[in-house]
Structure 1
Amino acid sequence: MATIGALTPSLRYTDRVAYAQKVADSSNGQFTVDDIMKEEAESDRIKLSASESMEAYRAGKGTYLGHSVGNKVVWRPDLYAQQISEARASRYEYYANMSGPVNIEAIDVDSAVTAQGNLTGGDLKNLSTYADYLRNEVAAATQVKPDATTFTGAWGKNVTHDVNEYVGWLMQAVQQKS
C-alpha cells in the first residue's frame, strides 16, 4: 500500500463531466463536452490496453522463445529465462531511473469497466490483468522509492490511495456488470 505523499486528485480525475465542461468552455466553441468525453474514453481504452500488454510482457508471456535456423525455430530455454528476467527487472529499472516522486494514477473504475468492455466485446475477465498490473507497479515503485510513491484510484467521487481497495472496487464493478 502506497499512501505516503498522497496528492489530492485533479478535477479531471474525479469529475470528468465537470472537467469536460471546463475544457469545452475554454475552447471557445472548438470542442463540445461530448468531444472531450469521447477523447477521455479513447484515452482510457489505450491506457488499459497498454497496461495489459505490459503486464503480459513482464509476466513472461509473449516473449521470444527461440531463434530461426533456416525454416525452423530452435527452442532456447536459456534465452527464454533471460528474457523473463529482463522483463521483470525492467519494472524496477523504470522507477529507479525516474527523477522525483512516483504518482501512479489508475483509470476510474467505471471508465476501466467500459474500456475493457469495448476492447473485448463485453468480456470483463481481463480486468484482473489490469489489477495485477497496478499491484505490481505500485509494489515495484514502493520498493525503489518507498517514501516517494503515491497511488490514486477512484470510483466516481470516491478516491483511494490504497491499491488493494481500488482493486476491490474494480472486482465489485465487474460483479455488478455481470
Structure 2
Amino acid sequence: MTSITPTSTSPLLGDRAALIERMVANSSGRVSAEEASTQVAQSERDQLLFIGLQEALSSGRLKIPDGAAIAERLQSSRLDAFSSHPGPITISAMNVDSAIGAQSTLTGGDLKNLSLYMDHLRSGVHLASQVKSEVTFFGTWGEDKYTNNVEEYIGWLQSAMQALPATNKP
C-alpha cells in the first residue's frame, strides 16, 4: 500500500524566496540575496543535469560502451538505495516554476529534456513502491498548489510548458 502524506524534505520545495531569505540570514552577512538566488538556481540546474544524465543512461538513450550494463546498475542502485532507506520514502519534486526555469536556463529555452525529469520521477515512485509499502510523492506549483500524485505533477509540468511562448517550446 502506498501512503500519501504531504511532507517537505527538499530545500527546493515550497517558497523559494523564503529559502533565499534563510540562506542570507544564516550566512551572517557573507551571502547577499542575489548570490543566494544564484546558488539556488545553480543547484536546480545541477539537479536537472544529473537526473537527465542518469535517466539517459538508464534508458539507453546515451550511447556509451556497455550502456545496458550501466543502465541496469543504475536501476539496481536506486532499488538498493530505496530498500536500505530506513522508514517511509519521500520523493520530492522541484517546484514546477523552478524546474521549467532551470531547464530553460540550462538549455537556452529548449525544454524537451524536461521529459527526462518526468521519467525520473515516475520511475522513482515505481521503484520505491516495489521495495517499500510507504512511499510519498510531493510536488508543488507556485506557493499554494501541491500534490501527492506524480501524474498530476507531470501534468502541471506539461501545462506549464504549453503556456510558454512558441520560441521556448520543444
- Normalising by structure 1, what TM-score? 0.80
Q: 1:163 aligns with which of 130, 147, 150?
A: 150
The Cα shift of 1:17 comes to 0.7
Q: Aligned with 2:13: secondary structure?
A: helix
For 1:60, the equivalent position in structure 2 comes to 60
In the TM superposition, 1:35-46 aligns within 5 A as 35-46=35-46
Residues in 2 aligned to 1:12 and 1:92: alpha-carbon distance in whole angstroms: 23
C-alpha distance 2-154 of structure 1, shift in aligned 2 (>3 A): farther
The answer to whether 1:138 aligns with 2:125 is yes
For 1:176, the equivalent position in structure 2 comes to 163
The answer to whether 1:151 aligns with 2:130 is no
**Alpha-carbon deviations, 1:15-49, whole Å to 9, x = none?**
11122123323433221222111111000000001
For 1:121, the equivalent position in structure 2 comes to 108
CA contact (8 A) 1:51 1:133 kept: yes
Residues in 2 aligned to 1:139 and 1:23: alpha-carbon distance in whole angstroms: 34
Residues in 2 aligned to 1:136 and 1:88: alpha-carbon distance in whole angstroms: 9
The Cα shift of 1:119 comes to 1.5
C-alpha distance 64-143 of structure 1, shift in aligned 2 (>3 A): same
The Cα shift of 1:163 comes to 0.7
- Greater shift, 101-110 or 12-21, is seen at 12-21
- Count the aligned residue pairs: 164
Q: What RMSD in Å do the two structures reach over aligned CA positions?
A: 2.4
Residues in 1 aligned to 2:85 and 2:63: alpha-carbon distance in whole angstroms: 25
Residues in 1 aligned to 2:16 and 2:119: alpha-carbon distance in whole angstroms: 25
- Normalising by structure 2, what TM-score? 0.83
| Higher strand residue share | 1
For 2:79, the equivalent position in structure 1 comes to 92
The Cα shift of 1:111 comes to 0.9
Q: Aligned with 1:151: secondary structure?
A: strand
The Cα shift of 1:61 comes to 3.0
